[in-house]
Structure 1
Amino acid sequence: MTSTSLDLGQVLLQRLDEAGQCSEPGPGVTRLFCSPQHREVLDIIADWMRAAGLTPELDAAGNLVGRCARALAGEPTLIMGSHQDTVMEGGKYDGMLGVALPILALEQLRREGCELPYGVEVVAFGDEEGTRFQSTLIGSRALAGNFEASCLDATDAEGISVRQALEAFGGAPDAIAEVARDPDHVLGYVEVHIEQGPVLEQRDHAVGVVTALTGIERHRIQVSGKAGHAGTTPMEGRRDALVGAAEMILEANRVLHASEDFVGVVGKLEVRPNAVNVIPSQVTFTLELRSPQAEVRARGRKQILDAYTAIAERYQLELNTEQTYSAEAVDCAPRLINALTQACADGNESAELLFSGAGHDGLAMCELTDIGMLFVRCRDGLSHHPDESISAADAASATRVLMQFLRAFEA
């Protein structure tokens, strides 16, 4: 590999293509926590780490951690990384870009003979999306020292618990507390990620510097009615759980559209008994709400759940709601924002300052250390989709910016 910027971008895309092959069959990339595909991609990432002078190790929480010699010796260390897991039928770049890019940047600095005066480690977090177990940020919460042991009891669709999956994968559930880093030895956490939005493309900028991460909450909504024969039960007086749930979903959509800085989605829907000629007796769906402002999210949540109660009463349905996840918005550290902005300027790249509407491992890592994030332009702002795409030129620009950031970073 030569040192030209375009070659860097091409190499990075080739590596991401290789990692993208570690997927369940079907469109896009499906790679779940503690799956065979997770194991397969870690072997590839470990080889990248060794080429960059890092020593790879699987930790108790299922993260692959690559450390340089200074980090292994216990010197103050800058942590970089992102997640390896994907949503169902996702793309090649969400998460994996933030694993492959810093490794390539370190490899190129090593090739140029640049020895950094502080420790570095790159982490391929095992679980951020929560696709398999509906319990997100397992890996980053372990590093931050705020992992909740109750997460080990969460189960997947086949009834396998996080504990069982980790043990089979080679992790050590009972030793996760030992993964926590000492804040006094951590210099910060920096993540590179595709933007997952259209701003950089609209501005024609390759990269952007993130100022804050959104707050997120998730709810499990269960609506129960009464099954009956679809042909013999009169319409009047039916307790159709799906009719009530459909109205609830539309109400959430109405509230979200009527509110500034408030987005959300009903992403998962289960209907019982799910038969063509039976009135649905129960519907379970997920409701995810996001806003950078806690008060906006709280106000919107109340509007939506109050409306759900009224709808359930009108249709004589039982309603059960459970909040399954919550993470408040967090600010990126000014010193890291400034350092990344300066690195962009030094590389003649415009440094668009923007807010992240997505959650990231930084939502957990902020409880350990200062966080910073560099966004990379993605085509059409598309993410969580097989057609995720970045250009080789933008990949090279982002790699070059991170290299400059690492050179100039003051421990």
Structure 2
Amino acid sequence: MTLDIERLGRRAEAMLDELAAISEEPDRLTRRFLTPEHKRAAHLVGRWMQEAGMVAAEDALGTVRGHYARDGEPEGANRVPRLLIGSHIDTVLNAGKYDGMLGVVAGILAVEHFRDQNQRFPFAVDVLAFGDEEGSRFPTVLSSSAATAGAFDTAWLKGVDRDGISLEKAMADYGLDTAAVGTAALTQEEALAYVEVHIEQGPVLEHGDLPLGVVTSIAGQNRTRVNVRGVAGHAGTVPMTLRQDAYLAAAEMALAAEAIAKAHPDDAMVATVGTIKVMPGAVNVIPDHVEFVLDLRAASDAPRAKALKQFIAKAEAIAAARGCSMTHDTYHDCPTAACAPWLQDGLTQSLDSLGLKAPKLVSGAGHDGQSMAKITDFAMLFVRCKGGISHNPAEFATVGDMGLAVAALIKFVEGFDPAKRG
């Protein structure tokens, strides 16, 4: 049958608007992992899944799972081979409404189409709505999808948010049992593949006037927490030459990280200090303690590991020269993840069937596919976004492009053949 691209896009837009209305803040979109707003969004997504013909439930990490049974599947069957479609419903602070949510909505709309056409497959289809992809609350990233992949680290439970609430307590407050985390894991036999629809978060597709693209890999990344300690003093009485200013040491370290990343253009390396805490935080006191996080990413792992070592050595030298001390903790180290060629081919064929080109792109942003790669092959379909803007209220994808993305996902599932796995 002919797919109604406009209708699919408008349905996606309406659902995204409804999700975006669920926020911790009245004047901007912020929805962090395991907050009451996350729970409200999860319940809404679960309702949509049920309305689309799926059985919906939340796992031990709050991931919403919709199950569309395979052809001939007996009621109540478990350990069924399934194609996984997913993304996340948590956001950064002051977010846009497309990042993550579009992938969840696209999966639901695809299954809704199959239900309407009375289509079943030799495999089940599960739509997953993860809750901790952004890492905007706890010192964890991808913990929801890590649990699904059987790679959850129980040490994460002790991590605390900015209010001192641990992940363990937040899970209990949400109504989750920390002792049941292991039950969230799927096996390699169950997980046939994982595919995700996501806005590009970059300008390549827009520059090429192309609505969709096929991802080849996701860049690896480190997140390293750095603590710099100096000596507090009166802002008016301590001469500049005698100061042990922790903030100036940290600022110089951030510039060093920038220089190191710029020296690796062939590796698409980027370095970002996006969060910094200055203490004691008084206008007339020289800072004696600064904490910041370095986010370091690259298209391959060896240069990234080498760059991190270079940064640590340089930061230690900067601290010593300024009479300060420095400690560091790399709490997140996610390797580069390659998308499976056979799944890339499937996405390319789905775009071909819609008369679209299928450009290949590398993702500089992290995604749940990096976790899912631990148990199965994965692939991603990128959707053009205006100006390449993301993690920003100005984030935008057109109705037409979103409709094409849902249509491409439908075509992909219809052509999906687990026998093509290597």
Return the TM-score normalized by structure 1.
0.97
Gapped runs of 5+ residues in structure 2? none
Distance (whole Å) between structure 1 residues aligned to residue 120 and residue 239 of structure 2: 78
Measured against aligned partners, the alpha-carbon deviations of 1:254-295 in whole angstroms (never above 9, x if no partner) come to 222222121020011111111111111111111010001112
Match of 1:264 among 229, 253, 271: 271
Measured against aligned partners, the alpha-carbon deviations of 1:219-247 in whole angstroms (never above 9, x if no partner) come to 11111110111112222211111111111
Measured against aligned partners, the alpha-carbon deviations of 1:122-176 in whole angstroms (never above 9, x if no partner) come to 1111111111102011111111111111111111111111111111212221111
Measured against aligned partners, the alpha-carbon deviations of 1:332-351 in whole angstroms (never above 9, x if no partner) come to 11110111110110111111
Match of 1:171 among 173, 176, 180: 176
Whether 1:199 and 2:204 are equivalent positions in the alignment is yes
> What is the aligned partner in structure 2 of residue 239 from structure 1?
244
Whether 1:406 and 2:398 are equivalent positions in the alignment is no
Decide whether the 8 Å contact of 1:28 with 1:92 is kept in 2: no
> What is the aligned partner in structure 1 of residue 381 from structure 2?
374
Give the deviation of 1:26 after TM superposition. Answer: 5.1
Give the deviation of 1:47 after TM superposition. Answer: 1.8
Decide whether the 8 Å contact of 1:3 with 1:108 is kept in 2: no
More displaced stretch, 255-264 vs 131-140? 255-264
SS in 1 for 2:351: helix
Distance (whole Å) between structure 1 residues aligned to residue 280 and residue 169 of structure 2: 30
Give the deviation of 1:27 after TM superposition. Answer: 4.9
Distance (whole Å) between structure 2 residues aligned to residue 208 and residue 303 of structure 1: 34
Whether 1:133 and 2:138 are equivalent positions in the alignment is yes
SS in 1 for 2:214: strand
> What is the aligned partner in structure 2 of residue 73 from structure 1?
77
Q: Name the aligned partner's letter for residue 22 of structure 1.
A: I
Distance (whole Å) between structure 2 residues aligned to residue 168 and residue 161 of structure 1: 11
Distance (whole Å) between structure 2 residues aligned to residue 407 and residue 309 of structure 1: 55
Q: Name the aligned partner's letter for residue 21 of structure 2.
A: Q
Match of 1:249 among 254, 267, 273: 254
SS in 2 for 1:387: coil
Matches within 5 A, 1:258-407: 258-260=263-265, 261-407=268-414
Measured against aligned partners, the alpha-carbon deviations of 1:197-221 in whole angstroms (never above 9, x if no partner) come to 1111011111111111110001111
Match of 1:184 among 159, 183, 189: 189
Whether 1:214 and 2:219 are equivalent positions in the alignment is yes
Superposed structure 1 runs of 4+ greater than 6 Å apart: none
Decide whether the 8 Å contact of 1:207 with 1:351 is kept in 2: yes
| Identical amino acids, percent of aligned pairs | 42
Q: Name the aligned partner's letter for residue 76 of structure 1.
A: P
Whether 1:15 and 2:15 are equivalent positions in the alignment is yes
Q: Name the aligned partner's letter for residue 30 of structure 1.
A: T
More displaced stretch, 68-77 vs 152-161? 68-77
Distance (whole Å) between structure 2 residues aligned to residue 410 and residue 147 of structure 1: 29
More displaced stretch, 87-96 vs 18-27? 18-27
Aligned length: 410
Distance (whole Å) between structure 1 residues aligned to residue 358 and residue 27 of structure 2: 34
Give the deviation of 1:303 after TM superposition. Answer: 2.2
Distance (whole Å) between structure 2 residues aligned to residue 208 and residue 362 of structure 1: 16
Distance (whole Å) between structure 2 residues aligned to residue 354 and residue 140 of structure 1: 23
SS in 2 for 1:116: coil
> What is the aligned partner in structure 2 of residue 226 from structure 1?
231
Q: Name the aligned partner's letter for residue 275 of structure 2.
A: K
Distance (whole Å) between structure 1 residues aligned to residue 31 and residue 225 of structure 2: 24
Whether 1:87 and 2:103 are equivalent positions in the alignment is no
Return the TM-score normalized by structure 2.
0.95
Distance (whole Å) between structure 2 residues aligned to residue 402 and residue 34 of structure 1: 29
Q: Name the aligned partner's letter for residue 321 of structure 2.
A: R
SS in 2 for 1:265: strand
Gapped runs of 5+ residues in structure 1? none
> What is the aligned partner in structure 2 of residue 116 from structure 1?
121
Decide whether the 8 Å contact of 1:215 with 1:290 is kept in 2: yes
Decide whether the 8 Å contact of 1:28 with 1:387 is kept in 2: no
Distance (whole Å) between structure 1 residues aligned to residue 252 and residue 161 of structure 2: 29
Distance (whole Å) between structure 1 residues aligned to residue 99 and residue 237 of structure 2: 50
Whether 1:143 and 2:148 are equivalent positions in the alignment is yes
Give the deviation of 1:3 after TM superposition. Answer: 5.6
Distance (whole Å) between structure 2 residues aligned to residue 172 and residue 67 of structure 1: 22
SS in 1 for 2:352: helix
Decide whether the 8 Å contact of 1:207 with 1:375 is kept in 2: yes
